[in-house]
Structure 1
């Protein structure tokens, strides 16, 4: 019947509302559909809000705190890629711990060098003693 209606001229056509026999059912279906659409919109908005929050948290904690941002430079004619590595800014506590570790390492290296010098001196004096004993034995 709808196909026959499409073939008729504009004056002879029957409107779509006249095809519907139960307008109350149509209104109920429309209302139910609108409720479902509203729930979906709210769900999508909630998901978008969660994603926006996650995005801003990650950006503020990971990207904005970097002193040097990670980048890559690609060559035009060759397959070479040069990357720099991101450097995160350090807190006062991290700087204090780093300086403390550097100082401890310097002290450790100086003590090691001192021990080596002392061992070399001790071995040199032993060689000198052994050398003088050999000379005295020969005489």
Structure 2
């Protein structure tokens, strides 16, 4: 599971995800990518599940790049604990994803396999996505 080695603060505010992605909105590494179409917090477990689905369909050929990193801690109080006495302990890590952000990129596999593997990876994520390719821009 992905998580930061070290953080400046143990707990973070929830915040809101405003606007569209400025950084990470174009393909930089591979020929095909999975682009987010709505704002959402994606957990480290969901990222890992999508990565496994993509690499399994590709039969470990080609290369996969993960363009998002879960760096925001989400805290939770234990079950049946009364209100007060501070914020809960960090429970899991999330990446805040804006619309337009490229989440995964792949390269080195044929078009049909690339699209199918990204479709299977998208099924593991809690947001609507679109498969984009470098070839569409030509």
TM range (shorter): under 0.3
> With CA pairs under 8 Å and 6+ residues apart, which has the higher RCO, 1 or 2?
2
Output the TM-score relative to the length of structure 1: 0.18
Which structure: larger Rg? Answer: 1
Q: TM-score, normalised by structure 2?
A: 0.18
